[in-house]
Chains A and B, each alone.
Chain A
């Protein structure tokens, strides 16, 4: 949560309400459980650790000048590190999804490059699992577990193809409009 909130702030200083709206948009129905309180709690923690500061909005579109949250220098470093760190094979779908959204919104990383790095990582992992799986009978306990892990990794790789299609269609002058 902290990393995601920080990454969303990398685009521009924002009000808590605005962050919640963007997070909800990125999460779709999964974001319904998200309440404004969680965002404010996270922002307060981030402020305490010096990763964000509150400042006055420059030029409000309408209404009075509100307080907005902005990244500090160390907040920016942390976002860059989070985007660059390769997510492990166990990383959950929503976390990686938000990383792509945050990368695209902030312009701090190329979502397609993140997807490529993750594909290589998952493929290497799948190679290890498949070599082990072929060495074990599927009807043994070990073989059954390896089969399950291989199927999970395969599902992750297929979802990554979908990510790549969507993000490359959105990228300015990106990898073309996908296939077939």
Chain B
């Protein structure tokens, strides 16, 4: 057992923190207000290597471990979860999926520019009528010999507009149910793809979310990932890793709200003394700290298991469910500690509370995580 971080892990945490505190903080409120995509930040963070930090250097990635990734995500999301989710989808869904299950040609052609951050990836699984229940894919991929023909609609797609490389899940053999599902790498500028309106979201407003429509989109056969019928397994495996990203995002949201609350409680006075001297507030601070510490340990444990090559699916589901749920609780308390000031935008905590809510919904709702966890316990 060893709880020390390596010099390198500390350095990555510090680099992420420096970027967030120096740069992201400057326009995070404005981008939230205007729902504006962080184009320049994503370019800068690509140059620093964050967009492909988990990818093997052989494919132009940063070659960092998942523990470093948790540390970086926490620091970035303390300030700006929209930037966090863009990094998370690119790293832990799109790059991870291609690196682990793609062919050499696919890695050469798609993984490299994604790892360099020159191109951004999106992961298209959810549909208007298939969210939690991803087995009921209505999007079809008809086998036409040398290519597949895609038709259907995907919903809630992060990076749909900013991204240019899509990982698309679709049904090829409906009679085989989820075993007939395939997954493809699709270039966004292929004919037949159109985007819906930018979703007007409650939080993480600076990330772009759209629905995506496919009408007779031709996808070359060599763009299928894995064997025929591998798509559902691919999606589940990839989401296992993705959850570590979202869990760390929730952790960052909680710890960002916590840091602000501690500072505020030490400064703001009521009834002749600092808020921190009222036990009701001090105990809230204590409860928040305990929850955050537990969530951090969950995230790091899941990351460590993944880095050791051990099974991490249940650990990442636990990390995601717990971190997301406490992020909601901690940010709600943070607003409470700030009183009226907490309810206005300038103090950031209301935004963090809006952001926290999403972590309980995407990449598997908290309820779905409980299904994953309880099944793993009860199945044997």
Please say whether chains A and B are actual partners in one complex: no
Name B residues whose Cβ lies closer than 8 Å to a Cβ of A: none
